[in-house]
Chain A
Amino acid sequence: MYRIEKTAETADNIFEFWIHAPHVARHARAGQFLVLRIDEHGERIPLTISATDGDSVRVVFMAVGKTTTQLAAMSPGESIRDVVGPLGRPSEIRKWGTCVVIGGGVGIACTPIIARELKEAGNTVIGIIGARNAGFLLLEDEMRETCDELVVCTDDGSKGFHGFPADILKERLSTQTIDAIWIIGPAIMMKITSGVSRPFGIKTFVSLNPIMVDGTGMCGSCRVTVGGETRFACVDGPEFDAHEVDFDELMQRQRIYGDSERRALEHYHEHQCRCGGEGHE
């Protein structure tokens, strides 16, 4: 059992949890994730490791379906049944020169840890974070502290630049030298944003989020096509060369369980009403 130590709702429907998991926290590096299962009946879901502190890890997640909704309702002192990690390969941290780290929506969760490790390796780091509106922005202070420069944008202009991170990236690429780029966010945002750096031939990493089960390379649920080859995102990734990724296929595979996911959430809400949120019978 893994104890929840601290919780907060840091933006609209976006939650920040600190979980006591020494085996994960002590070895986690930028770009890696964990898989958790709340209880006996739970699904195994992957979440990026957003920070570590001693024996605890931080995850930041949006309540979108059954598991994340159930998790969001948990309080400090309660426990999660299973946490395994750190999983996946760490980000390719080395001295690149000038790096841009872009986070979109809940994908911003993963950016401070990458930015920090890049800084520690001697890079100049430009951060770009974007969200639908000001209410969905997260970890802005943390990114500002870590990066040499931070650009904030919102789709509706409610804060910072009115537009998308892709617009900022395009402008920067044509005015300064950039050596490596990280883009983390929804698949469609990663597809569009990495399209901007393609003509410049600059190394661009994206962190893929296909549906996973074990997260250890045993099931193949997370398979993605990269450079024409089938790769398992949980062990070969989750970060891949953006310009080689088949994003359309990724998005198609992410939708496989759409109907089931809606049913699971309905079942959860119904059940909650009947038994006062005590969980399963």
Chain B
Amino acid sequence: MSKRPADERLRDFGEVDLGLSEEEAVVEAQRCLQCKKPACVGGCPVCIDIPGFIAAVAERDFRRAAAILRDQNMLPAICGRVCPQESQCEGVCILGIKSEPVCIGALERFVADWERAQGIIPPAVAPPTGKRVAIIGSGPAGITAAAECARAGHAVTIFESLHEAGGVLTYGIPAFRLPKDIVAGEIEEVLALGADLHLNHLVGRSVPVEDILAYDAVFLATGAGLPFFMGIVGEQLGGVYSANEFLTRVNLMHADRFPEFDTPIVRGSRVAVVGGGNVAMDSARVARRLGAKVYLIYRRREDDFPARHAEVANAREEGVEFLCCANPVRILGGPAVTGIECVRMEMQDPDMSGRPTPVPVEGSAFTLDVDVVIEAIGQGPNPLLVSLIPGLIRGKKGNVVVDEDGATSVPRVYAGGDVATGAATVIWAMGAAKQAARSINAMLEKS
């Protein structure tokens, strides 16, 4: 897949990866061995018929390829772009053992983009059942469940607290990775099935919990939007952001175009981003586009970055400087940030996740001169609504507990996506939402 050169892409928020041309896609598809027992399918959380759609691409039957994708995945243009393929479908592709795995994500993206350009054929919608389903949150989980329930003929209402739909796809993941017209387009497809969308409605406040529980079924998809802070000295200084705030100011409020847009941001000339996941990479690359020199501080080794490999490579090309095996202990300055003090970390025995445990090295403190600090150290489930629902059982980390059908401890209330799993991935959220929607449809059919 071709990419725009780093110096060019740093000047705007246009997409970095240009995707496959038709010829490239067909050639790539022909590499697939069409395995009898395809490992790749097991690696995809929604079990897309991967050899099936790839065979269609190889035969240039893109319409059929699109139909096979849509069978399992309502948001292929998004997943093709943001799935961590290396740890999912492509990670287990048989070709990957000896050489390069098939570029399944890029092919998925190609087909979805082709389909969008040609006009999407919407799936059939069952006749109205008279049953009402409330979906709380319009991120990938909410949108997916809305589509599945609407297709079954139920009257679906989606409630979203922000002024735009899409959840993290809209306010979190930057446009250079996921163009916003693609997100809007995929949401339009779902609304076209007959689902209603109420923006600016914070459920639990704008809509009382009793009103929600009066629906025939409820799907909680409120995500994991609660930002964690490190709890170190200096965190309240001007110029210290949670990644959520920094990314929201730019992606949702367009602070990069201030004062044409009203929302300001402290751009900084030297920015420290703390963390090593997708959220950290996105923050670092946005800060680069706002014109700053950027350090990314991560407590483990570069090999341990939880971010998508492709985005780590992109960040490096764009000049983000990685400071691995380091951890901030104090932010300096007042009233604005002037620096960040860190210590070196040493890797010791692996923890439960199999990654080494980082331990501070005594006497290794050093200081970086920075004027903005962005903390991207994780997020927890939004507590607001879930804490207001009587009898809703939650786990230790505040996540809503669900069974394998997506059902919560409260009758007729289901949950899925980040609110149930904690911060995870788009496709896992969609997979959980599909399961819950299937359970909701089955329950409503019986009642």
Contact = CB atoms under 8 A, between A and B. Distances in A.
A280 B257 CA distance: 13
Interface stretch (B262-270, B272-280, B394-402): B262-270
A23 B204 CA distance: 11
Given A214-B248, A230-B229, A41 B382 contact: no
Nearest to A218: B225
Given A23-B201, A230-B229, A223 B236 contact: yes
B262 A264 contact: yes
Contact of A219 (B227, B231, B264): B227
B23 to A, nearest CB: 40
Interface stretch (B40-48, B114-122, B183-191, B239-247): B239-247
Contacts of B199: 82
A198 interface: no
A51 to B, nearest CB: 18
B390 interface: no
Given A66-B262, A264-B258, A220 B227 contact: yes
A88 B208 CA distance: 14
B317 to A, nearest CB: 29
Contact of B238 (A32, A66, A256, A263): A256
Given A27-B208, A84-B163, A87-B205, A217 B238 contact: no
A65 to B, nearest CB: 9
Given A214-B248, A280-B260, A84 B201 contact: yes
Interface stretch (A132-140, A150-158, A247-255): A247-255
18 contacts: A27-B206, A41-B260, A43-B253, A43-B261, A43-B262, A82-B200, A84-B200, A87-B202, A87-B205, A213-B263, A214-B162, A219-B242, A220-B245, A230-B235, A252-B335, A256-B266, A260-B258, A260-B265
Interface string A202-223: 0000000000011011111101
Give the 7 A-B residue pairs with the shortest CB-CB distance, closest first: A260-B264, A219-B245, A256-B238, A43-B262, A267-B259, A84-B200, A218-B225
B249 interface: yes
Contact of A213 (B205, B239, B245, B336): B245
A225 interface: yes
Interface residues of A, number: 42
Given A23-B207, A86-B206, A218-B225, A43 B263 contact: yes
A252 B336 CA distance: 9
A217 B384 contact: yes
Interface residues of B, number: 45
Given A41-B254, A213-B248, A220-B244, 14 more contacts: A27-B206, A44-B163, A81-B163, A82-B200, A84-B206, A85-B205, A219-B245, A220-B245, A221-B245, A223-B236, A230-B231, A252-B335, A257-B264, A264-B258
Interface string B158-196: 000111000000010000000000000000000000000
A235 interface: yes
Contacts of A235: 383-384
B389 interface: no
Interface string B50-93: 00000000000000000000000000000000000000000000
A261 interface: yes
Contacts of B197: none
Interface string A78-94: 00011111110000000
Contacts of A225: 236
B207 A253 contact: no
A42 interface: yes
Interface string A257-269: 1001101100100
Contacts of B227: 218-220
A216 B161 contact: yes
A241 to B, nearest CB: 19
Interface of B: 161-163, 171, 198-202, 205-208, 225-227, 229, 231, 235-236, 238-239, 241-242, 244-245, 248-249, 253-254, 258-266, 334-336, 382-384
A230 to B, nearest CB: 6
Contacts of B239: 256
Contact of B242 (A44, A83, A220): A220
Given A37-B163, A84-B202, A213-B253, A255 B335 contact: yes
A271 to B, nearest CB: 9
A119 B244 CA distance: 41
A24 interface: yes
A47 B225 CA distance: 23
A27 B208 CA distance: 8
A252 to B, nearest CB: 5
Nearest to A90: B205
A213 B260 CA distance: 18
- Taking each of A44, A216, A230, which has the highest tally of chain B beta carbons within 10 Å of its own beta carbon? A216
A97 B264 CA distance: 45
Contacts of A256: 238-239, 266, 335-336
